[in-house]
Every structure is written in structure tokens, then in C-alpha cells.
Amino acid sequence: MSRNDEVAFLQVFETTRDGLYRIFRKLTTDEHQVEDLVQECYLELWKKWEGLQDPVNYVFGIAYNQVKVYHRKKIRAALTMMELPADADNQPGQLNPDQQYQLKETQNRLQKIMQELSPEKRVAFNLIREEERSYQEASQLLGVPVSTLEKRVSGSLKVLRKMMRCFF
């Protein structure tokens, strides 16, 4: 590592630090998690440092991807909670009262969101994501092209992400 690399990296750090913190503070109020996300951006930047033409844009691109991953994890966690057995809250030692409450609230929110989807999107989502059928099989069942199903499932996921973002 040359001295020029260190100086240039520090300049990029100083230029982008506040912006990255603003981006990640919108995601979470947990300051430790914000720190981890920012640090991950700079670690990824450093790994690719050698051939970068525009490191400032690159680090914000990393941040953008981390935001997407963060939301995907939240949606997956919510969907996983939705799939827990209905009697999970009746099994001692499984969930504490806060987790039971959070599980019920998340399930209620997801059910409301799913009800607001168009019937076409809801059916496509249920077949592909909940029943785990292939796109080809679901296409034959519904009598629509695979590309139409892909658009419907994608649209459903966008709505779910957008609506669940409000709750986390």
C-alpha cells in the first residue's frame, strides 16, 4: 500500500462519511448497526481500491446494495415469522411475550398487505413463494406466460418491501 493510496482513501472517507451515516441512520436507529454498515462499505471499497476510477460513486453504490440487502433480510425475517406454526406462542420456552406480540403483529401486517394486493398478484405470489411451485408449473395452472408471473411476483415483492419498510 502506497502513501498516495492512503491519502486518497482518507480523502474519499472524509468526503463520503457523513452521507453514508445519513443513509444508514434512515434504516435503523441502532448506532452499532449503522457503524457496521458504514464500516462494511469502506472494507468493500478498500478491497476494490486498485482499479477504481470513481471511488466516491463506488462507495455509494456499495451503500445502495447494502440498503437493498438490509430490506430483503427484514422481509425474509417477517415472512419467516409469518410461517411459524400458529401454536408457537403456546409452546413454553419457544417465544417470550415480546416475541409473541411481535410475531402476531407482523403476521397481521403481512395479512393486511397481502389482502391489498390485486387478486392476480396475490395468487401468483402464493403459488410461487408460499406453495413453492415452479414458474413453469404455476404458468400452466393459471394459463398465463411465465414472464407475466414473474412480473406479478416481482410487483408483489415490491409492495411487500415498501409496506414493511414502514413497520421496521
H helices of 28-93, in order, are: 31-47, 55-83
For 37, residues 6+ apart whose C-beta sits below 8 A from its C-beta are 20, 24, 27, 63, 66, 70
Q: What percent of the chain is modeled with pLDDT above 70?
A: 85
Give the mean pLDDT of 7-35.
89
Give the mean pLDDT of 118-144.
88
Query: Given this model, what pLDDT does residue 82 score?
Result: 59
Helices (runs of H) and strands (runs of E) counted in the chain:
7, 0
Cell of 9: 482513501
What value does the mean pLDDT of the chain take? 82
C-alpha–C-alpha distance, residues 84 and 88, integer Å: 7
Task: Please state the length of the chain.
Answer: 168
Residue 16 burial (C-beta neighbours within 10 Å; 0-12, 13-18, 19+):
buried
User: Residue 134 — φ and ψ, nearest 5°?
Assistant: -75, 160
pLDDT tens track for 6-17: 899 999 999 999
Query: Given this model, what pLDDT does residue 54 score?
Result: 92
pLDDT tens track for 44-63: 999 988 888 899 999 999 99
Query: Given this model, what pLDDT does residue 61 score?
Result: 93
474519499: which residue's cell?
12
- Per domain, the residue ranges of the chain are 3-80, 117-165
Q: Which CATH class is domain 3-80?
A: mainly alpha
Which segments within the chain are labelled E, that is strand?
Answer: none
pLDDT tens track for 64-113: 999 888 877 777 776 666 555 555 444 545 667 777 777 787 778 888 88
